[in-house]
Chain A
Amino acid sequence: MSITLLMCGLLFGGALAWFLEGVKAQSARWVSLLTVLVIGGYFAIALNATAYDFSTLQLLVRVAWISSFHIEYALALDYLSIVLILLTLFLALICVLVSWQEINDKVGFYYFNLLTSIAGIIGVFTAVDMFLFFFFWEVMLLPITALIAIWGHENRHFAAIKFFIFTQLSSLLMLVAIISMSFIHYQQVGQLSFFYQDWLTLDLPLSISQYLMLGFFIAFAVKLPSVPVHSWLPDAHTQAPTAGSVLLAGVLLKTGAYGLIRFVLQLFPQASVNFAPVAATLGVVSILYGAKMAFAQQDLKRLVAYSSISHMGFVMLALFSFNAIAYQGAVLTLVAHGLSSAALFALAGMIYSRIHSRDLNHMGGFWLNTPRMGGFALAFSAAAFGLPGLANFVAEFLSLVGAYQRYPILTILAAFGLIGSAIYGMVLFQGVFHGKCQVKQQAVNDLSSRELLVFSSLLALLIFIGFYPNSILGFFQSDSIIIAINNTVGVSK
Chain B
Amino acid sequence: MTQLMLHSLLPVLIVAFGIVLSLLLIAWRRSQKLILIFTITIFSVALLASFSLFVDLADAVQVTTLVKVDSYGLFAFMLVLVASIAVSVLSSMWLTHTTEVHDEFFVLLQLVVLGAGILVISDHYASLFLGFELLSIALVGLVGYSRDSEFSVETSFKYLVLSACASSFMLLGIAFIYSYSGSLSFSTEQLMFDNMSDLSILVRNYGHGDVLFYRVGFLLFMVGIAFKLSLAPFHLWTPDVYQGAPTPVTLLLATVSKIAIFIVLMKCWFSQAIFVDTKSSDENMLFLMSIFAIASMLIGNALALKQQNIKRLLAYSSIAHMGYLLIVLIVISPQSVALAWQSALFYLTAYVLASISIFMTVQLTQYHHNKSELNVDDWQGMFWQNPSLAVLIIVAILSLAGIPLTMGFIGKFYLLNVAVQAQQWWLISALIIGSGIGLFYYLRIIFVLFTIVNEKNIAKELIPVSLTLSPAVNFSVMIVIILSVLLGIFPDLLGNLLVTVN
Task: Note whether A and B form a binding pair.
Answer: yes
**Which A residues fall within an 8 A CB radius of B?**
65-69, 105-106, 131, 134-135, 138-139, 142, 145-146, 149-150, 157, 160-161, 164-165, 168-169, 172-173, 175-176, 179-180, 183
The reply to whether B417 and A69 form a contact with Cβ atoms under 8 Å apart is yes
Interface check B443, CB cutoff 8 A = yes
Known: A142-B405, A168-B436. 9 other contacts (CB 8 A): A66-B491, A67-B496, A106-B452, A142-B403, A145-B443, A146-B450, A161-B439, A169-B432, A179-B413
Residue of B nearest to A67 (CB): B492
Interface hits, B443-502 → A, CB 8 Å: 443-444, 447, 450, 452, 490-492, 495-496, 499
The reply to whether B447 and A176 form a contact with Cβ atoms under 8 Å apart is no
- Bound: A318/B439 CA distance, A: 34
Q: Nearest Cβ in chain B — how far from A226, in angstroms? A: 19
- Bound: A168/B490 CA distance, A: 22
The reply to whether A150 and B450 form a contact with Cβ atoms under 8 Å apart is yes
Residue of B nearest to A172 (CB): B432
- Which chain A residues border B447 with CB–CB below 8 Å? 149, 157, 160-161
- Bound: A67/B431 CA distance, A: 25
Interface hits, B160-191 → A, CB 8 Å: none
The reply to whether B403 and A176 form a contact with Cβ atoms under 8 Å apart is no
Residue of A nearest to B499 (CB): A68
- Bound: A161/B443 CA distance, A: 7
Q: Are A165 and B439 CB-contacts (below 8 A) given A69-B417, A106-B452, A175-B413?
A: yes
- Which chain A residues border B432 with CB–CB below 8 Å? 169, 172-173, 176
- Bound: A434/B502 CA distance, A: 76
- Bound: A455/B436 CA distance, A: 39
- Bound: A131/B491 CA distance, A: 13
Q: Nearest Cβ in chain A — how far from B82, in angstroms? A: 22
- Bound: A146/B403 CA distance, A: 14
Interface check B197, CB cutoff 8 A = no
Q: Nearest Cβ in chain A — how far from B305, in angstroms? A: 12
The reply to whether A161 and B444 form a contact with Cβ atoms under 8 Å apart is yes
The reply to whether A66 and B495 form a contact with Cβ atoms under 8 Å apart is yes
Q: Pick the contact of A139 from B404, B413, B435 — CB < 8 Å?
A: B404
Q: Nearest Cβ in chain A — how far from B478, in angstroms? A: 17
**Which B residues fall within an 8 A CB radius of A?**
342, 384, 398, 403-405, 409, 413, 416-417, 420-421, 428, 431-432, 435-436, 439-440, 443-444, 447, 450, 452, 490-492, 495-496, 499
The reply to whether B416 and A161 form a contact with Cβ atoms under 8 Å apart is no
- Bound: A68/B413 CA distance, A: 12
Q: Pick the contact of A176 from B420, B496, B499 — CB < 8 Å?
A: B420
Q: Nearest Cβ in chain A — how far from B182, in angstroms? A: 40
Q: Pick the contact of B436 from A131, A139, A146, A169 — CB < 8 Å?
A: A169
The reply to whether A172 and B435 form a contact with Cβ atoms under 8 Å apart is yes
24 A-B residue pairings within 8 Å (CB atoms): A66-B490, A66-B495, A67-B492, A67-B495, A68-B491, A69-B417, A105-B452, A106-B452, A138-B403, A142-B398, A142-B403, A146-B450, A161-B439, A165-B439, A168-B435, A169-B432, A169-B436, A172-B432, A175-B413, A175-B416, A176-B416, A176-B428, A180-B420, A183-B417
The reply to whether B443 and A164 form a contact with Cβ atoms under 8 Å apart is yes
The reply to whether B404 and A183 form a contact with Cβ atoms under 8 Å apart is no
3 closest residue pairs by CB, A with B? A68-B495, A169-B436, A138-B404
- Which chain B residues border A131 with CB–CB below 8 Å? 413
Residue of A nearest to B439 (CB): A165
- Bound: A350/B440 CA distance, A: 32
- Which chain B residues border A173 with CB–CB below 8 Å? 432
- Which chain A residues border B342 with CB–CB below 8 Å? 68
The reply to whether B405 and A139 form a contact with Cβ atoms under 8 Å apart is yes
- Bound: A134/B402 CA distance, A: 13
Q: Pick the contact of A165 from B384, B420, B440, B495 — CB < 8 Å?
A: B440
- Bound: A131/B495 CA distance, A: 16
Q: Choose among A68, A69, A139, A168 the residue with the greatest number of B CB atoms under 10 Å from its CB.
A: A68
Q: Nearest Cβ in chain A — how far from B438, in angstroms? A: 10
Q: Nearest Cβ in chain B — how far from A426, in angstroms? A: 38
The reply to whether A66 and B492 form a contact with Cβ atoms under 8 Å apart is yes
- Which chain A residues border B490 with CB–CB below 8 Å? 66
- Bound: A65/B490 CA distance, A: 7
Q: Nearest Cβ in chain A — how far from B307, in angstroms? A: 16
- Bound: A69/B403 CA distance, A: 18
- Bound: A157/B448 CA distance, A: 10
The reply to whether B416 and A179 form a contact with Cβ atoms under 8 Å apart is yes
- Which chain A residues border B496 with CB–CB below 8 Å? 67-68
- Bound: A173/B425 CA distance, A: 11
- Which chain B residues border A161 with CB–CB below 8 Å? 439-440, 443-444, 447
The reply to whether B404 and A134 form a contact with Cβ atoms under 8 Å apart is yes
Q: Nearest Cβ in chain B — how far from A355, in angstroms? A: 23
- Bound: A157/B376 CA distance, A: 15
Q: Nearest Cβ in chain B — how far from A169, in angstroms? A: 4
Q: Nearest Cβ in chain A — how far from B199, in angstroms? A: 41
- Bound: A165/B452 CA distance, A: 23
- Bound: A165/B435 CA distance, A: 9
Residue of B nearest to A179 (CB): B420
- Which chain B residues border A150 with CB–CB below 8 Å? 450, 452
Q: Nearest Cβ in chain B — how far from A182, in angstroms? A: 8
- Bound: A135/B491 CA distance, A: 13
The reply to whether B439 and A168 form a contact with Cβ atoms under 8 Å apart is yes
Q: Are A135 and B404 CB-contacts (below 8 A) given A164-B439, A176-B428?
A: yes
Q: Nearest Cβ in chain B — how far from A274, in angstroms? A: 21
